[in-house]
């Protein structure tokens, strides 16, 4: 019977290695979770709705309007989704012909662009960013646009935490106009708000932006994200989205989080996270098992270690859970560390110092 089930499964799904999310990899015993770029601080909300017998609206007007207000766009330029992950998937569903079209992404980057394309049977083209600067390889991108419908660019990039130059993004939009959509994943943009491309939406019909409440808004648990794009693109995505993607309690909480006071609180948490990051980077730079700390622009920092494997394991055993990046393109010996509270960072530094003292490099 098991064999039959495998035979029934689509070929590409048989071969697929699913996304290794922080929660899937484990670390449940951990006490300090620095592996999923979540907010270390929780914000409490009370659900105001008491009755759930009716389906919610597919695209709740009040939520769309609140987010449109937050990003200074019109309601017609906003789609609400089950996290930014659903946005990545819907774009492939709506724009890519399986077996014919392709997507481009620029590793090392977020894995879900590749995985969604593989699930859909859509071809992938990897154009790595330039080593060390992590900037776009525009020459190779231009040479590889054949059959490409979507180009995913993560900015700030996960896991490098680097920023792509705005002039390069604008050039990419120019050379792809009429051929491909450029999808800029701004999941972490609140940590580097000046880098946002939302103001370019009005002049660039092939620009799509992904957003989420999972990071700076501290709401990873409710699963709520947004796609920002011109009206025609939003209408197209509305054709393929499921009938009731956002549950009533999620709409309720997301709406509250977008009120002025809560946005101010979010911005204060971002300031805190950014100052914790400066402290952590400074401390890391003084530790001898650290080979390199990469410049960070978000709520995580990429670090290259001497003896990265032992460090990762020792910290794991102590309940400090980080994200190993060694298998990714150009990231040998690298570990990604989410910015936690100052207390969590202190604990991490204490353990790294202890490790350095007992080992010589
Ligand atoms: N894009 C990037 C770059 C991410 O790191 C993540 C979450 N890890 C997502 C999208 C997905 O976010 P969401 O929780 O909104 O689905």
- What would the 3-class secondary structure string for the chain be? CHHHHHHHCCHHHHHCCCCCCHHHHCCCCCCEECCCCCCCCCCCCCCCCCCCCCCCCCCCHHHHHHHHHHHCCCHHHEEEECHHHHHHHHHHHHHCCCCCCEEEECCCCCCHHHHHHHHHCCEEEECCCCCCCCCCCHHHHHHCCCCEEEEEEECCCCCCCCCCCHHHHHHHHHHHCCCCEEEEECCCHHHCHHHCCHHHHHHCCCEEEEEECCCCCCCHHHCCEEEECCHHHHHHHHHHCCCCCCCHHHHHHHHHHCCHHHHHHHHHHHHHHHHHHHHHHHHHHCCCCEEEECCCCCCEEEEEECCHHHHHHHHHHCCEECEECCCCCCCCCEEEEECCCHHHHHHHHHHHHHHHHHCCC
Average pLDDT of the segment spanning 311-332: 96
Q: How far is the CA of 75 from the centre of ligand 1 (A)?
A: 23
Is position 51 within any domain?
Answer: no
**Domain with 274 in it: what CATH number?**
3.90.1150.10
**Ligand 1 lined by 110 (C-beta under 6 Å):** yes
Say if residue 289 is in the same domain as residue 231.
Answer: no
Q: How far is the CA of 185 from the centre of ligand 1 (A)?
A: 8
**Domain with 92 in it: what CATH number?**
3.40.640.10
Q: How far is the CA of 342 from the centre of ligand 1 (A)?
A: 24
Cα–Cα distance for residue pair 101/181, rounded to 1 Å: 13
Say if residue 123 is in the same domain as residue 193.
Answer: yes
Per-residue pLDDT tens digits for 270-308: 999 999 999 999 999 999 999 999 999 999 999 999 999
Say if residue 221 is in the same domain as residue 174.
Answer: yes
> If 0-12 CB within 10 Å is exposed, 13-18 middle and 19+ buried, where does residue 239 land?
exposed
Q: How far is the CA of 50 from the centre of ligand 1 (A)?
A: 30
Asked whether the beta carbons of 352 and 32 are under 8 A apart, the reply is: no
pLDDT at 28 over 80: no
pLDDT at 27 over 70: no
pLDDT at 1 over 70: no
CA of 213, closest atom in ligand 1: 15
Q: How far is the CA of 140 from the centre of ligand 1 (A)?
A: 26
Q: Quick one: pLDDT at residue 268?
A: 98
Say if residue 253 is in the same domain as residue 118.
Answer: yes
Token output for 187: 């999941």
Q: Quick one: pLDDT at residue 39?
A: 97
Is position 361 within any domain?
Answer: no
Confidence of residue 4 (pLDDT cuts 50, 70, 90): confident
Say what the pTM is: 0.97
Domain that holds residue 349: 2-39+262-356
Q: How far is the CA of 221 from the centre of ligand 1 (A)?
A: 12
Mutate to test the pocket of ligand 1, among 19, 25, 83, 84 (most ligand atoms within 8 A of CB): 84
Query: What does pLDDT average to over the chain?
Result: 96
**Ligand 1 lined by 116 (C-beta under 6 Å):** no
Mutate to test the pocket of ligand 1, among 22, 23, 37, 85 (most ligand atoms within 8 A of CB): 85
Is position 73 within any domain?
Answer: yes
Nearest CA to ligand 1 atom 6: 187
Sign of CA pseudo-dihedral 37, 345, 164, 191 = positive
**Ligand 1 lined by 297 (C-beta under 6 Å):** no
Question: What letters, b where the CB count within 10 A reaches 16 and e where it falls short, cover 246-277?
Answer: bbbebbbbbbbbbeeebbebbeebbeebbebb
Q: Quick one: pLDDT at residue 3?
A: 79
Say if residue 83 is in the same domain as residue 222.
Answer: yes
Determine the longest span between alpha carbons in the chain, in angstroms: 64
């Amino acid at each position: 019977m098991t064999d039959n089930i495998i035979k029934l499964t689509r070929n590409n799904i048989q071969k697929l290695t699913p996304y290794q999310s922080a929660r899937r990899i484990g670390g449940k015993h951990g006490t300090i979770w620095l592996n999923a770029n979540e907010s270390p601080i929780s914000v409490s909300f009370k659900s105001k709705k008491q009755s759930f017998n009716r389906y919610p609206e597919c695209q709740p007007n009040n939520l769309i309007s609140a987010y449109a207000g937050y990003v200074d766009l019109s309601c017609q330029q906003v789609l609400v989704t089950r996290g930014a992950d659903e946005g990545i998937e819907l774009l492939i569903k709506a724009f890519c012909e399986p077996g014919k079209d392709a997507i481009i992404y620029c590793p090392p980057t977020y894995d879900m662009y590749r995985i969604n394309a593989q699930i859909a049977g859509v071809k992938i083209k990897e154009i790595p960013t330039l080593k060390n600067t992590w900037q776009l390889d525009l020459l190779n991108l231009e040479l590889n646009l054949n059959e490409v419908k979507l180009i995913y660019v993560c900015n700030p990039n996960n896991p490098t935490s680097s920023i792509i130059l705005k002039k390069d993004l604008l050039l990419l939009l120019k050379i792809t106009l009429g051929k491909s959509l450029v999808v800029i994943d701004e999941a972490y943009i609140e940590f580097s708000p000046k880098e946002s491309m939302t103001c370019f939406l009005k002049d660039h019909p092939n620009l799509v932006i992904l957003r989420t409440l999972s990071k700076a808004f501290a709401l990873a648990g409710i699963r709520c994200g947004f796609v920002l794009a011109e009206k025609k693109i939003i209408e197209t995505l509305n054709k393929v989205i499921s009938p009731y993607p956002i549950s009533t309690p999620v709409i309720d909480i997301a709406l509250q989080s977008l009120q002025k006071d809560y946005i101010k609180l979010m911005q204060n948490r971002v300031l805190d996270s950014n100052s914790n990051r400066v402290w952590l980077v400074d401390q890391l730079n003084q530790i001898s098992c650290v080979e390199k700390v990469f410049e960070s622009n978000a709520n995580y920092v990429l670090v290259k270690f001497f003896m990265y494997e032992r460090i990762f394991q020792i910290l794991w055993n102590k309940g400090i859970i980080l994200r190993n990046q060694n298998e990714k393109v150009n990231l040998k010996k690298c570990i990604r560390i989410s910015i936690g509270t100052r207390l969590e960072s202190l604990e991490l530094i204490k353990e790294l110092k202890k490790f350095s003292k007992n080992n010589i490099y």
